[in-house]
Amino acid sequence: MHTLSPHPALSLRSRLRFVTLGGVDASTSFDGLCALAGRHPYAEFGLLYSKSQAGTGRYPPRKWMESLALRARTVPGLNLSLHVCGEAIGELLMGKGHVSELAPLFPRIQVNFLAERHALISVRKLLKRLPDTTIITQHTEASESLWRELAERRNHAVMFDISGRKGFGPQRWQAPLKKIISGWSFKAIDPLCGYAGGLGPDNVAKHLRLIADVTHHSAFWLEMEGKLLGGVNRFDMGRAQKCLDAAERVLMNDGIASGVPALPAHDFRGLAGQASTAGHSFA
């Protein structure tokens, strides 16, 4: 007798929530971002915020980030995330500084601390202060217990990057985190897990398949940054397109109708550096 599985297999397309392309800078074309987002609904563009490096390389000025985030709200499907670095993390957790004014404009925020230096209560307050924003923390040996303490929060997600943001990947990807429920009165939520480390145009297809295998029925996302940057530490739209095209081919081969038109050979070279013709404003 045939019985339905209690956990029916989900298509890879439905499980891949985002392919996050980090390092978008002030020279990045808004039209180019829209074009990629229109073709790949799982595309997400990461903006790095640093107090000390704002306005240099892959760290755009705060006002430019604010303008981009506000304009993105008018474009359905244009997904942005904020990646907070350095001393700005402490300000965000305390609800202070410019970063705390910027934070509500982004649906997802990643706080890039590698050790559990910040008190659990501060992270919990941030999750409560921004209930409609997903807060992403990195899963490391130093912060291994953090996700368990936040298991009741629906807006908490976890990023695996054992490279410590150094850009090399693991030999084997880790399975998603699962909270074991130990009693009827205990309420817990398995966090959405993301994967980063050495991903880029040259290997995203291979590792997407590997991560899909280890995640089984769970949703997940991918993140990459270093291999998307050009020679002057700037976001390369062409490399971003190659990553998304490679991911799309894997999804199409997963046996699910794509629903996406055939992929033309877009050339984004003419869009490089055309973020705006009016300085740092997208208006």
| CA dist list (Å): 83 to 76, 184, 203 | 21, 36, 23
Give the total number of structural domains in the chain. 1
pLDDT in tens, 102-147: 999 999 999 977 555 556 889 999 999 999 999 999 887 777 788 8
Residue 160, beta-bridge partner list: 139, 195
Q: CA–CA separation, 129 vs 127, rounded Å?
A: 6
Residue 84 has pLDDT above 90, yes or no: yes
Position 1 scores a pLDDT of: 39
pLDDT at res. 254: 81
Domain holding 17, by residue range, is 12-271
Gyration radius of the chain over CA positions? 19
Residue 161 lies in a domain: yes
Confidence of residue 57 (pLDDT cuts 50, 70, 90): confident
Any domain includes 259: yes
**What backbone phi and psi angles, to 5 degrees, belong to 211?**
-70, -35
Q: For residue 265, what pLDDT is reported?
A: 41
Domain for residue 281, yes or no?
no
**Count of C-beta atoms within a 10 Å radius of residue 177:** 17
CATH number of residue 177's parent domain: 3.20.20.70
**CA 30 to the chain's CA centroid:** 18
What is the full DSSP assignment across 52-70?
A: TTTTBTTB--HHHHHHHHH
Identify the helix (H) or strand (E) that includes residue 124: helix 120-129
Which pLDDT tens digit goes with each residue over 223-274? Answer: 999 999 987 888 999 999 999 999 999 999 985 433 444 344 444 444 444 4
Does residue 73 form part of some domain? Answer: yes
Residue 266 inside a domain? The answer is yes
Interatomic CA distance for residues 280 and 118, integer angstroms: 33
CB 109 within 8 A of CB 95: no
Q: Tell me if 1 is assigned to some domain.
A: no
pLDDT digits (tens, 9 = 90+) for 139-169: 877 777 888 888 889 999 999 986 655 555 6
Domain-embedded: residue 122: yes
Q: Is residue 95 part of a domain?
A: yes
Q: Say what the pTM is.
A: 0.85
- Please determine, for residue 185, whether its predicted confidence score (pLDDT) is greater than 90: no
Query: Which one-letter amino acid corresponds to residue 117?
Result: R
